[in-house]
Each structure stands twice: as structure tokens, then as C-alpha cells.
Structure 1
Amino acid sequence: MPDERLVSAFFADTFRQWTSRELIAIGTSQPRVFAPGTNWAYSHTNYVILGQALEKITGKSLATLLRENILAPLGLKDTHSVATAQMREPTTGFGSPPSLFAGPALIGLATRLTAHLRAAQPVNRAQTAAARQGITPPAARALQTRWDSVIFLRVAGMALGIVGLGLCALWLR
């Protein structure tokens, strides 16, 4: 259940810079949904706490640690850790060449995902269920034929996605 005070404060000032202490206080102010070790749920609070621990251990800011240990070794010279909603120039948006390449890339990857969900997932389920029982599925050939029938969609979707993302990367260099 969302914390209405937090939602109100966020929308009152979307550019507010929240401190780590504030974020941790917000994240730990709600009652637990389940007992520790009995279930799992995603939480940004854990990352904020990890950042605080890393800063305390190393004596360096999280931004410096990210730059030195992740961004610089990966050659991500135009990626920056920021605490505000301000965007650095040049900022690309819709209608820019990278976004024009990203559209076909997303369509390609979505095509690939659709082919997987419609053909591969049922085939994998049937094959896995049969394997767990130690048998060969009665329709093994039909299942494989179904998977093979979407090979063009699988390859074309993945190729379009890779080419589109590659063009985005080349443009942004």
C-alpha cells in the first residue's frame, strides 16, 4: 500500500533531492508484508543501505565508487551518477536518430519475445514435464515442428533488435 505522505511529497516537488537517511526512513517505516525468509519482494531501500555501507567502508561517495569501479572500467564516459532530475546536454529524445533506431529495435525484440511466448514456452513446458516423468512426449516431433515453424520470426526479430540497438550505439558515440 503506498504511503500517501510520500506520494504527496514526491508530486509536490518532483525535483527534490532526497537524502539517503530520508529514503531509508521511508523504506523502513512501513510494516513488513511477510516474515523475513518466508518470501521475497523488490525494494530500492536495500540499494540505498548498500550505498551507505560502501561509502562508510571506503570513505568515498557512491558517485565516485560507481565512476571508478563500474563506469570508467566499462568505458561509459558519458554515463553519470546524478542526484537530480536534471538532464545533461546533449539529451536525445523522441525524433532523434537514436530513438528512430530504437523503435525498430523494440519491434524486433518484441517480435522475438512474442515468438518465444507463443511457440517456445508451450514446447518447453511439454518437454520439461515429459522429461521429469522420464518419458519422451508423445508429440515430440509436432512440438519441435511448431518451434521450428517460427524460426524466421525468431531470427528476424533478434536481428532487427540487434541492428537497431547497434545503430543507436553508433549514433551516440
Structure 2
Amino acid sequence: MEKVLGNKYLLLAIRIIIGIVFIYASFYKIISPFEFAKSIRNYDMIPIELVNLPAIILPYLEFICGVLLITGKMRIGTGFWMVVMLIAFIIGLTQAYVRGLDINCGCFNPLENASSKSEILIRIVEDILMLAGVLIYMIFGGKKENKKEINKEPDITPAV
């Protein structure tokens, strides 16, 4: 299984696809933070006084994580924040689905019309798949670098 999930082409595809999705998802949220704040408010999960904070921070975090994922930099840190975001998205969408809320998901474009239950379910599945992809990248993405570092001969030259 490690041979399949650790395949460098699979890991590259995961990085590029999920990175592009996160960058694309951040675009309309960055240019339309007020509309995104309304989308967050519709989930009815946090007090209205706190809605602006994630509406301002989240799009930039998505963008930065998307870029870092594509470039392969800061694998663990980037993966951690992506996992946190994806779990929050899954929880938010799931509770909206269960409660039957008629919401604009705000996933990609906060100006979208309200999402149907089937669209929300599709977004939940997409987020679960992206979560799996990020976890695969976090677990298997650094194996070769780690092995090289472990097998590296220690530098024992005396200091002069």
C-alpha cells in the first residue's frame, strides 16, 4: 500500500489538484468578503459577532495553503491547516445538511444561489476526498526525504 500511496506521481497529482481547488475557492471570497461573511452566517454555527474573523482570514489561509501545497513547501504545516479547514468544512456542511438549512454553501463563490441538499452532499463527499488526499500527502509525501536524512553520514569534522 505504501508503494501505491507513496508514488511520486500520485502525490504530485494530489498536490496540484487540491492546491488548485483551494486557490480557486479563495478567489471570490477574497474579492467579496462581505458576501462570504453572509455565507458563513447562514450556517448558524458561530455568534454573529465572530463571523467577520473567519470571513477575512479563511480565504487568505486557503490561498496560501493552496500555493504551498502545489510547491510542496512546509508539508506538515500546510497539511495541518488544510486538515483543520477541511474538517471544519465537513462539520459545517454536515450540520447544515442534517438541519435542512437552505444555505449558500460559500464553498467557491459566495454569490452563488442557495445550495440544494444534493449539492451540499456532493460538497461533503468532495471535502472528504480532499481530506483523504491531504492526509496521504502528509503521511507519504516526505518518506524519501526522511530516509535520505536518516541515512546521511554525520559530519564529524573537528571545529577549528
Normalised by the size of structure 1, how large is the TM-score? 0.30
Larger Rg: 1
Looking at secondary structure, tell me which structure has more helix per residue. 2
Of structures 1 and 2, the one with the larger relative CO (CA 8 A, separation 6+) is 2
